[in-house]
Amino acid sequence: MTRPTPIDCEQCHTEQMFVMRMKVNVTSQPQDKEDLLAGKLNTFVCPKCRFTKMYDFPLFYEDRKRRLMILVVPPPTEVIHKYPPPGVVKTTQLRMVSSRNELIEKILIRDAKLDDRVVEFMKVQVRFASLSRSIPVDGHLMFSGVVKNDDDEDVVQFQDVTGASDDTFLSLPLPYYRKFAKALKPFIAQILTPDTLWLRVDHDYGQQLDRLVDKAIEKEEEVEKPRRKKRRR
């Protein structure tokens, strides 16, 4: 699905007609996924001066093979209450994001066979760990993959993409992900979802999970206090 959209070139100020992609089905057109990851999809190239810019347009991304559907709703676009095809709600991960970078991140997480909800929780822990070392993360953390570190160990790697340096990479061991995934199951079930089937799993979601875990730890400590006193007697 496409839509012609007039765009004023930011360099030569000439109005050009740009054909915007509004739907991408990588199940039937796998090349579209490669173009998206390579930064070619919905990228404007002025035919007059060759000025190039990637635009964030509303987009519906569908990958039936990986059971993933994503709505891209850039601000200030209103939230789209789009209903997915019948029969996929219980078997497909439905997500809503606000930018191309977030869309690509969701795709990479799914390709790595990770749960994006756990990944967002890990980002919160990475920020806390960096802060404790007096190296605060100023920018936006994005998942960049599961890679080998210098000790040949698998780690979940994140990139600080909007901080002082885009070359800042942070990571946590992959076994941490597995421990978090198991421990977070009851907390994930506690997070109320909005009146839409499309869930936003972002920094705010990760913080919600972290607060729930903190409350559970505090509650457990309160229960343990009288037990400790009895043992001392």
**Predicted confidence (pLDDT) per residue in 54-110, tens digit:** 888 889 999 999 999 999 998 876 655 566 666 677 789 999 999 999 999 999 999
Average pLDDT of every residue of the chain: 88
Percent of the chain scoring above 70 in pLDDT: 87
pLDDT at 136: 77
Is there a contact between 160 and 137 (Cβ–Cβ < 8 Å)?
Answer: yes
SS3 52: strand
Local structure of residue 46 (DSSP, 8 states): -
CA 203 to chain CA mean position, Å: 9
**Domain map of the chain by residue range?**
1-111, 113-233
Least confident of 37-41, 136-140, 141-145, 227-231: 227-231
**Cα 64-148-128 angle, rounded to 5 deg:** 85
pTM of the model: 0.86
